[in-house]
């Protein structure tokens, strides 16, 4: 996998040592996350919309209702900014000024194109399902032709992207390290609970292992 070349738009300028441009880091963050925020401008008004996504190789897919203003706007070829952020911990410093968060984030810039071919569209919908819950696609009813027509899928090439990452303990001013104040990191992670039955579930099916042992960590 080749690294992403930093551009004028993706070069990390604030704390540049936290920037990363290698494909492995960027893809790992994208594969662990499942919620992105899509930024675009429509009729002079900026919007940032949260939505799901899935990655295949060097392409990011997003999807939704064919009636979605966001998807109709993006399908027209406007510039888009997609961000994904994983929050790993709260960084509690000795001073209020140096409080922070440990995080991993990716910013992608470009133009999305509609996926029109039915086979690729169906494959993208499988990717969405498997990205959120691995193993689910084979257990569910696949989309019908009418459901496919009612769904818009867009492909965004991963051509212009960068990551920004913060890890480690607080970074206090040297004189503050002698203050008798607790400082450190409160780790955060997604912790799934026990599956909850749909009240209209017919008798018999039990939660599958991918629901009982859900994890965002990728093999």
Q: Decide if 178 is inside a domain.
A: no
CATH of the domain at 72: 2.30.110.10
Q: Decide if 187 is inside a domain.
A: no
Contact 211, 193 (CB under 8 A): no
In order along its 219 residues, the chain shows pLDDT tens digits of 567 888 888 888 887 788 788 999 999 999 999 999 999 999 999 999 999 999 999 999 999 998 899 999 999 999 999 999 999 999 999 999 999 999 999 999 999 999 999 999 999 999 999 999 999 999 999 999 999 999 999 999 999 999 999 999 999 999 999 999 999 999 999 899 999 999 999 887 889 999 999 988 766
Q: Decide if 42 is inside a domain.
A: yes
pLDDT for residue 105: 97
Query: What is the residue range of 102's domain?
Result: 16-173+195-212
pLDDT for residue 15: 78
| Number of neighbouring beta carbons within 10 Å of residue 204 | 5
Total number of domains in the chain:
1
b or e along 74-94 (b: 16 or more beta carbons within 10 Å of the residue's beta carbon)?
Answer: bbeeeebbbebbbebbebbbb
pLDDT for residue 36: 97
Q: Decide if 7 is inside a domain.
A: no
């Amino acid at each position: 996998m080749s690294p992403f070349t930093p551009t004028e738009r993706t070069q990390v300028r604030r704390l540049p040592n936290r920037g990363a441009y290698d494909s492995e880091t960027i893809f790992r963050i994208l594969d662990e996350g499942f919620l992105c925020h899509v930024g675009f401008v429509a009729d002079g008004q900026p919007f940032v919309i949260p939505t799901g996504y899935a990655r295949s190789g060097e392409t990011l897919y997003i999807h939704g209702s064919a009636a979605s203003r966001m998807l109709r706007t993006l399908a027209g070829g406007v510039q888009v900014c997609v961000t994904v952020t994983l929050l790993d911990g709260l960084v509690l410093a000795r001073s209020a000024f140096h409080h922070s968060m440990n995080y991993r984030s990716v910013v992608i810039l470009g133009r999305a194109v509609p996926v029109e071919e039915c086979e690729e569209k169906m494959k993208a919908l499988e990717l969405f399902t498997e990205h959120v819950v691995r193993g689910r696609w084979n257990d569910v009813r696949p989309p019908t032709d009418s459901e496919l027509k009612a769904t818009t899928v867009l492909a965004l090439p991963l051509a212009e992207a960068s990551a920004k990452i913060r890890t480690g303990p607080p970074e206090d001013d040297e004189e503050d390290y002698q203050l008798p104040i607790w400082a450190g990191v409160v780790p955060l992670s997604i912790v799934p609970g026990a599956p909850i039955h749909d009240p209209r579930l017919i008798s018999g099916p039990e939660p599958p292992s991918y629901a009982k042992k859900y994890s965002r960590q990728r093999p």
